Amino acid sequence: MNLFSLIRNAALDLMKNVEVQAIIGPKSSMQAEFVADLGGKAHVPIISYAATSPSLSSSRYPYFIRATLSDSSQVKAISSIVNAFGWREVVPIYVDNEFGAGIIPFLMDDFGKINTRVPYRSVIPSSATDYQIVAELQKLKRMRTRVFVVHMLPDIGTKLFIRAKQLGMMRRGYAWIITDALTNGLRNFDDSVIETMNGVIGVKPHVPQTEQYKNFTKRWKLMSEKMKPGDLTPKLDVLDLRAYDSVTALAMAIERLSLSSGGFYKQNNSGNSTDLETFKISKIGPILLDAISSTRFSGLSGDFHIVGGQLQSPAYQVVNVIANVEKGIGFWTAENGIVRQLNSRRSKTSSSLKSGFGAIVWPGDTVNPPIGLVIPKDGKILRVGVPKNAGFLEFVNVTEDPEASNKTKVTGYCIDIFEAVMKFVHSPVLYEYSPYDRKEDDSYYNDLVYHVYEGKFDAVVGDVTIIANRSKYVDFSLPFTESGVSMVELFAILQYEELSQDSMKEVGSPTMKEGKKAVQKTGRGSGRGDRRHNTLDFF
């Protein structure tokens, strides 16, 4: 008989024969779903400290109380990490059961809000062999995405990281984020397992280090050493603490109601009722459910507060596995997002979300954040044409690079705009600037644009005007600034044409011929570059 059948039979026996008034457990989401359904039929509160699947809710199972956090509560913390480092593609890796799949719709929704794609979902069977895990990891290794979010329990999650290490997927360029299902157990993993997870980032609920918590852990250590002398005392994780808080909440609710005993009454069923339909119904179930739901106290794991059958979410701690040790690097709160200290706020003047983190060591023992995507070694390099000394140098300026011989350095306003846009491209793009080195004349910018049509350049960046003739050959970006030079020149010519030569002489003004020369000279001096300027663009 498998574990699920044993739990099913135990739950049936407790409700039908023992007539218990409440049940604490079971530990998994798959088991909890069946038990919660039985609890609804018998009006027996089911208090779970470990069932985290978002599909388990009080709307579906009215007598189900989740005394732990739903997996969906950590999604915003994860998406904030992804957004902070600008990763535009993420692959979730999860186990193929209700626990694993429950978080995926929430991840997809939040990743969509930050413009991050999920090109592939890696689903691992719950009873996967090492061969199956390796086969899936090899598939991921062939992909360009290098950011993975792992949502698994420790039994299979640790196997995954051992194999990932062996396949070279824990080196520089990779980023791994683990959910609290794995992060909560980091301190109890063997050293051989932790060694394979160096560089991993994890999230877990923040547990306040109160005096109550410290005293309890001391007592736990003394009791463990007394019961098993010489054995290594296992460290308590958040689920252990929530189990203790669940018992405390039930005891407080019963004491407040002054319940010494309850009772059950039979349902009016037909003679053909099945075993599940012959449940007796608890007389005190409804009031006990309300009493547990309204119980609030400061427990070992933090504030115990149930709303809508769900434990309310605290802050999340973000940790980094460095040198085989779990180290805190920041926190996430619903109010302030990512912050360095729990009681601090992120500076409004900070230009980067990454400033909320402490020092991070990534896979491969590097402090440089991965870009999240691999650039193929044989990938095409885009040739970006730029005008050389042909226009305003503030827009594009080509100079000799003092740090490298036989190389040029390209700067300017248009270059800054182009490079800022390239940072938002989903895939990393290799490109190089190719200065268009030719004497400037009236056809200079036309020829520069036409070289894109001919295939000599893949794009052009610079102070290039959008005009109808050029648009026949290339596509332009939207304009991002205006020069206004042509309007000044046209206005000056019209003014001179409206004056007669005699009237200009009478007031000591230059002749019409001299006036036109002056205007043309002014136009060359202030309208340097593409003199058809109405807008400045790149494409």
Range of weakest confidence among 149-163, 378-392, 455-469, 508-522: 508-522
**Spatial contact of 118 and 110, defined as CB atoms under 8 Å apart:** no
Residue 143 to residue 278: CA distance in whole angstroms: 54
91-95 and 147-151 as β-strands: parallel, antiparallel, unpaired?
parallel
What is the reported pLDDT for 188? Answer: 86
- Per-residue pLDDT of 313-352, as tens digits, reads 889 999 999 988 999 999 999 888 999 888 766 554 444 5
Among candidate residues 63, 109, 67, 117, the one with its CA nearest the CA of residue 87: 117
Residue with tokens 């700067």: 411
For the chain, give the mean pLDDT. 82
Range of weakest confidence among 31-45, 164-178, 474-488: 474-488
| C-alpha atoms less than 13 angstroms from C-alpha of 342 in its C-beta half-sphere | 11
What is the reported pLDDT for 352? Answer: 52
**Spatial contact of 201 and 177, defined as CB atoms under 8 Å apart:** yes
**Residue 171 in tokens:** 């080196």
What is the reported pLDDT for 442? Answer: 79
**Spatial contact of 357 and 338, defined as CB atoms under 8 Å apart:** yes
Average pLDDT of the segment spanning 40-48: 92
Which of the four pLDDT bands, split at 50, 70 and 90, describes residue 57? confident
Range of weakest confidence among 156-165, 194-203, 295-304, 466-475: 466-475
**Spatial contact of 17 and 262, defined as CB atoms under 8 Å apart:** no
Residue 46 to residue 83: CA distance in whole angstroms: 37
- Per-residue pLDDT of 401-436, as tens digits, reads 777 667 788 999 999 999 888 877 656 677 889 998
- Per-residue pLDDT of 84-109, as tens digits, reads 999 989 999 999 988 999 999 999 99
Residue with tokens 């979010």: 149
Q: Using the CB atoms, write b or e for 303-324: b if 16+ within 10 Å.
A: ebbbeebbbebbbbbbbbbbee
DSSP SS3 for 358:
coil
Class of residue 276 by CB neighbours under 10 A (exposed 0-12, middle 13-18, buried 19+): exposed
Whole-prediction pTM value? 0.70
Average pLDDT of the segment spanning 346-372: 76
Biggest alpha carbon distance in the chain? 122
**Spatial contact of 381 and 457, defined as CB atoms under 8 Å apart:** no
**Residue 34 in tokens:** 């069946």
When comparing pLDDT for 31 and 362, which is higher?
A: 362
**Spatial contact of 392 and 536, defined as CB atoms under 8 Å apart:** no
Asked if residue 263 has pLDDT above 60, the reply is: yes
Among candidate residues 133, 138, 183, 176, the one with its CA nearest the CA of residue 156: 133
Residue 32 to residue 41: CA distance in whole angstroms: 14
**Residue 527 in tokens:** 């309208």
DSSP 421-451: HHTT-SS---EEEEEE-S---TTHHHHHHHH
